[in-house]
Structure 1
């Protein structure tokens, strides 16, 4: 299932590389499952991608995914300071910042309790001030996986090939999902991958 999810959601606009999966692990961080339970009943739980630089992973594995501190400039966050996820593998893979000389990358697949989402077509830097009743933000892209699979425990895995959403004409090409409370996140899988770049980079 995970290999299908990865292969199908490699966007055509990210065609400058292919991916080899080197290692894949199922993970469970201490305490994460327990704190996640309060949001598990909120509904709309999805398995989503998160990529980051190699230098960040020691902190992520020891302390979990974190939200940027108050002093971090808000301009780097299209939808406010939160933890960002994608349903397109290659969108998250680009945040690994791999290169010809450093081809390794690490990505997470996380179960994210999104609940009722505040859907936005364009950037909103204060999106972390959610409307009442909303648990997350969805930056709606013009392309999205066409099909999903639901696991036995009710998690939606959007593993279909991307399809254009003609009614969605915002600034994003692909969907982004943002939560502002780390208790809505549960790490499920870690992937160690190798980037095979086409041509020189």
Structure 2
């Protein structure tokens, strides 16, 4: 994985140049760029060390405040936290059904997690998915 270099054009980086993650597959699936003629896409599943998160309800590409390790864009929809799974080694997997987050004034539909250091990311699985178009 790489973070876009400073000279790369800036478009679509709501939270600056970093590596973006989601806790709902429906958010990530939008980036697979499939079509009815080419319905297969790839999803990269990763473990991400978020540390202290700087939480935002709207775009913020300024540098992280001191002591923060990542940024969380808070969405109006999130997985049900009561159904999260925690592995024996402490990794939290958000596997719940979507529900309203109850956060007012957010400009995001889903949560986004952004890290700015590739060392915070451990690639686990590359999953090939086939989308069904009706």
Mark yes or no: TM-score above 0.5: yes
| Structure-1 residue corresponding to 2:113 | 177
Q: Equivalent of 2:65, from 125, 128, 131?
A: 131
Task: Tell me if the contact between 2:75 and 2:111 (Cα under 8 Å) persists in the aligned partners.
Answer: yes
Q: 1:144 aligns with which of 78, 83, 101?
A: 78
2:125 match: secondary structure? strand
Report the count of equivalent residues. Answer: 132
Q: Secondary structure at the match of 2:106?
A: coil
Q: Deviations over 1:173-200 (max 9, x none)?
A: 10000000000000111111111112xx
- Aligned 1:1-201 pairs, distance under 5 A: 65-126=1-62, 129-147=63-81, 148-198=84-134
Relative to structure 1, the CA distance from residue 168 to residue 149 in structure 2 (aligned partners, 3 Å threshold; closer, same or farther) is farther
| Partner Cα distance (1:186, 1:168) in 2 | 32
User: Mind listing any 5+ residue stretches in structure 1 that lack a counterpart?
Assistant: 1-64
Partner SS state of residue 109, structure 2:
coil
Q: Tell me the C-alpha RMSD between the 2 structures.
A: 1.0
Structure 1 stretches of 4+ moved >3 Å:
none
The CA distance in 2 between the partners of 1:112 and 1:90, in whole Å, is 18
**TM-score, normalized by length of structure 2?**
0.94
How far apart in 2 are the matches of 1:120 and 1:84? 14
Are 1:74 and 1:125, in contact at CA under 8 Å, matched by a contact in 2? Answer: no
- The whole-number CA distance in structure 2 between the counterparts of 1:66 and 1:189 is 17
d(CA) in 2 for partners of 1:69, 1:108: 21
Give how far 1:73 is off: 2.3
Instruction: Report the TM-score, using the length of structure 1 for normalisation.
Output: 0.64
- Structure 2 stretches lacking a partner, 5+ long: none
